[in-house]
Structure 1
Amino acid sequence: MLTIVGLGPGSRSYLSREAYDALKQADKVYVRTAWHPVLEELDIEFESFDEAYERAADFPTLYREIAQQVFEAAKTDEVVFAVPGSPFQAEETVKLLLSLGEATIIPGVSFVEPVLQALRYDVTDGLMILDGLSEFRLPADQSALLLQVYSPAVASEVKLKLMATLPDEREVVIVKSAGIPDREELIRLPLYQLDQGPHFDHLTSLFVPAGEARHRTLEELVAVTARLRGPGGCAWDSEQTHQSLKRYLIEESYEVLEAIDREDFDMLEDELGDLLFQAIFHAQIASEMGYFDIYDVIQGITDKLIRRHSHVFSDDQASTAQEVVEIWEKNKAAERSTEDRLRSIPRISPLHYGMKVMKLLAPAGSDDLSELTDNELLEQLLKLVKQASQRDLALDLLLSERLDQLIQEHLTTE
């Protein structure tokens, strides 16, 4: 039988009588870590997994191994698995154990309560609780408490993650030994100094108060766009339609290409912003019409990337770029029929449109131009453009019309 016990935040006064009795009466006691003051005071034998932490390749694998070992032992003995704080806060091993089978849970006071008391912080003001070992991105306007920040190395990783959204000078609070008399300590310092000092042990947490963001957010850009289009906003912006904005979308796209060609990264940053605004603008108009909003767009492209990169997110295998392309095309073909794919090719540039159409309709090497070098092929193209110019032909329009005819002929014969 398995019993999972929360040891509380550190002081013996937080350990319940039920938890104490379970620890004393068990055939075998496992502790995730022996770095806990309560274990120093209890006269019990236990086995810790601290050495496993030292040799583990990664935390997910370690947690699975711990859970499996404890679960197997509980099949024949009365086993207690004891964890710091509460079993239900930042305890991945507990989640894994409960997924394997039944267990009795004896709750413990989490680290959160004494930390909040030390900080004099009311949780109703809003608080995210994060595992310092996990991947996270903290919104700048959200207060957070990070657990398991037990070493300078972990603190350094946490600092880098926080700096992605927070100013370097944001004041943070290191909370040491919360709730333990004569040991509790609060250390306030700027974020950039977080890992510069011997402040960390297994009873250390980090509090990050809400404040100004390092960067503006997508949500702010969406809100500004809605304000421009809304009552009392900008008369010009509010009159725009998908059709009227087409020229600006093309212009901004070409300006991005120009910045890339110049290798001007300041310009590229600026032009990508203009292009992003065009996407937000169109999504805002669509949202007002009841079709979709920018978050639907984000959902769609995220799902598509995951679906088409099945060699990353699923079971397909690819070791070369060509194999990746083949998998992409396979997944793309599975989503839509050839007719759907042909009809969905954008027609902004007839030449680009033609290349997409011919890629679907004409196999490689199927004509006498396939032996030409790239330069020779370009020369042939220039000759055609010259001839069309001399005949005063609208080559782009004629090309679009002919491509449409080819598509219709192909669909008719299928």
Structure 2
Amino acid sequence: MDTSQKNWPLIAFFCGFLAIILILFLCLPPKSVSSVEKRTLEPFPPVSLSAIANGNFEAGMDRYLSDHIPGRTWWVGAYSYFCLATGRNGWNGIYAGKDGYLLREPTPPDYEALTRNLSYIQRFLSASEIPAAVMIVPSTGAVLPDKLPQNHDVYYDAELLSLAETQLESSATWIDLSASFGPLAELEPLYYRTDHHWTSLGAYRAYEALLSQWSISPTPSRQFQVTAHPDFYGTSYSKSALWGVKPDTMEIWDLSLPVQVLIYEDPAGEASASSSMFYLDNLDGDDPYSVFLNGNHALTRIVNPSASGGTLLILKDSFANCLAPFLAAHFREIDLIDLRYYRPSGGLSLLEDTSADQILFVYSLDDLVEDPNFIWLAP
């Protein structure tokens, strides 16, 4: 038989497969968001002669086709498992660890960026003259090294945190979470398996460590009403595309405090109000972690008239969203400012939106090193 005739079935199958993909691509409605990957998909690129000439249209079209290929979730998952099968530890910056843990790869030791961000924090605190504390959350892989795959990059948490403590010790109280979490790491689930955040229990242990430094008695854990919400998949799961990993259980620790939560997208604008710090409807959405304070916003204000303390200003990333409800029992007002969305005219100008008696920085080590928005703290 002619060799070309032997190849016809394979050629017909390949052409039929491409035809089916093309038909599905043309017929299926495009999506704007991937709920599994928790990200916005590439929109159709604008068409213009200049965009075609400079290559922007072609590059945008390539990203659009990649994001909207039919069965994308399956293809991405298949590739991530192919990476595992071929000896790699994971995909897209996530390690496939032991016991179902999906761990972020270590933060590169960018000493220049870290020193620059620390200098902004130090200058802001020195100029504000308000008592302050700094709480930097170590990486999951550094706290739980036994969950890492056999081959992995080095975690520089100890070195980077030591540098931060040394540079800030004259301006703020340093909350050493590595020392607090270390003895508990094997005994309690301080971090989610499928998400980079700490669990509610992890946030409670951080709350205990913080109040110990402030000489305040924490609320005993037995006084909280704890509700468990299963089937939680976090950001590490979404990035890894390891769709076979078992979900986490998210816990909400509630004291039923008489609070009012005010959320400002613009500190000078109108606020949306709530009588709860837990937005339970978000548990069924694309970002269940936003159940805590409805996620990240420019300014979130928690008012508790029954508390005995004054006003606490928290400069933060998303780790503080789970921590703040614990602190709400002790402060009449907590103002959470996220510099990714808040734009002060200068470092001290953000104090005009709050009458802070104390300042607390709550950041993951990754964001302390990589976040470029600390420049807004410069006086």
| Highest RCO, 1 vs 2 (Cα 8 Å, sep ≥ 6) | 2
TM-score by length of 1: 0.23
Which structure is higher in helix share? 1
Larger Rg: 1
Which structure is higher in strand share? 2
TM-score by length of 2: 0.24
